[in-house]
Structure 1
Amino acid sequence: MSLNALSLDKEEVCLKGKRLYVYRPARLEDVFQGDPFLEAHRFPFWVMIWPASLALAEYLASLPPPLDILEIGAGLGIPSLFASAFGHRVLATDKEELPLKLLKRSAEEQGLELSVKTLDWINPNLEKKFDVIAGAEVVIKSSLFEPLFNLFKSYLKPEGHVILAHETERKRTLVPFLVKAEEHFKVETKLVRLKNEEKIIEIVLNRLTLK
């Protein structure tokens, strides 16, 4: 789908004293026709700005640059944008092309350098290893556990780390993932609280390093 065929909203995000914006579809019906409850597997969850992505963006922006960073399941790519703005070399990936087109436009208009690429976690085709592999709300079902572990082990530099961000309500899937992850990685956990309007949202940050 061409971006020219979409009505777009521009949404600003401010983190660590820096203000950036992302483009996203103004009308859901432009990118999804169907019942989101009956066809959840088709729903474009990338159209939303997830609180976990804000926590991940702040984490990446806090790392001393320059690092080679891979974002998986990037969607609108807020973590990638902020990582680039704070001096990192970024490859943003997603299984869908459309959010990557939006992300590329957001980056180019703001003078940010980053690369984008479609990525299938089951059959990844990346050309190098990374200091950091980052993802927000990516652990969504058990069938993806092993593909994620394999991706991490294949494309993480020996001294690098994986950083994952999820809302605590994902614990039904996240906890089994982390238990399984301990077979391959050292796992560290940190709880971050974000204020969203009048609500406090708890985000779990998990840092994985190779054993």
Structure 2
Amino acid sequence: MSGPATGVPRDLAARFDVVDGVVRLGDTTFDVMRPRSAEDLISEDDFARDERLPYWADVWPSSIALGERLLQEHGAGCSLLELGCGVGVVALAAARAGFDVTVSDYYDDALAFARANLARAGHDVVARHLDWRALPDDLPTYDVVVASDVLYERPYAELVAAVLDRALAPRGIALVADPGRLAAPAFVEAAQARGFRVDGSYVRPVPIGEIVQRIRIYTLQRR
């Protein structure tokens, strides 16, 4: 269920039709602001420039599965980077679990919504615009790096593996949630080629209406 949002930052209210929705992660619920319709945000100019589509504006089953997984952790004292944060569902769970959270996305609007949702929940968060094809020199390493449903294009298999290789601390852990996208097998191969152990045995069912999606969460560590 969703309805008109309250406490919307002025810049977002001026540019978006913002709604509030309750996102349930197991026994925990979060109030999440997001645009009412992702389809209304599609821009022919953006797509022509670099095939941008506003996937960030939806709440995807993989983010629910990954958020539930992070709520089981004790993150105090650990840094966490989310790749492709969208509106901030996974980041909300990570912050609730005690992690020191940095959100990142290719879309500045996604970062704005993630910051707003985290701030409304009382959490400080660092937000960074990241282009996986050109990572900044000052990007630090993190104890945990997470991503949900980022393998929907073939080139992303190698790109995501490369980002993990760059951003994950030597003893760090990465969690990548995927619903069975096209690039997932190639991602596993690319990560293994970069020296990661990849465990894909954890599968979490996420009911979406009458459909249950099975979300696989890959755990990666350096050999």
Q: Which moved more, 1:25-34 or 1:133-142?
A: 25-34
Moved segments of 4+, more than 4 Å: 37-40
Shift of 1:31: 2.3
Taking the aligned partners of 2:130 and 2:48, their CA distance within structure 1 comes to 26
- State the identity as a percent: 24
RMSD, matched Cα: 2.4
User: What is the TM-score of this pair, normalised by structure 1?
Assistant: 0.89
| Unaligned 5+ runs, structure 2 | 1-9
Output the amino acid matched with 1:202: R
Output the amino acid matched with 2:51: H
Conserved 8 A contact 1:57-1:82: yes
Output the amino acid matched with 2:174: V
The alignment covers a number of residue pairs equal to 208
Taking the aligned partners of 1:137 and 1:117, their CA distance within structure 2 comes to 19
User: What is the TM-score of this pair, normalised by structure 2?
Assistant: 0.85
Q: Which digits, 9 at most, give the CA deviation of each residue in 1:58-92, with x for residues without a partner?
A: 11121122121100011112010111122110001
Output the amino acid matched with 1:25: P
Q: Is it true that 1:157 corresponds to 2:166 in the alignment?
A: no
Q: Which digits, 9 at most, give the CA deviation of each residue in 1:120-148, with x for residues without a partner?
A: 11111243211111000112223233332
Distance 1:97 1:19, change over 3 A: same
* Larger RCO (alpha carbons 8 Å, 6+ apart): 1
Shift of 1:104: 1.0
* Matching residue within 65, 73, 96 for 2:84: 73
Shift of 1:106: 1.1
Distance 1:151 1:130, change over 3 A: same
Instruction: Name the residue aligned to 1:53.
Output: 63
Secondary structure of the 1:81 match is helix
Distance 1:2 1:155, change over 3 A: same
Q: Which moved more, 1:154-163 or 1:140-149?
A: 140-149
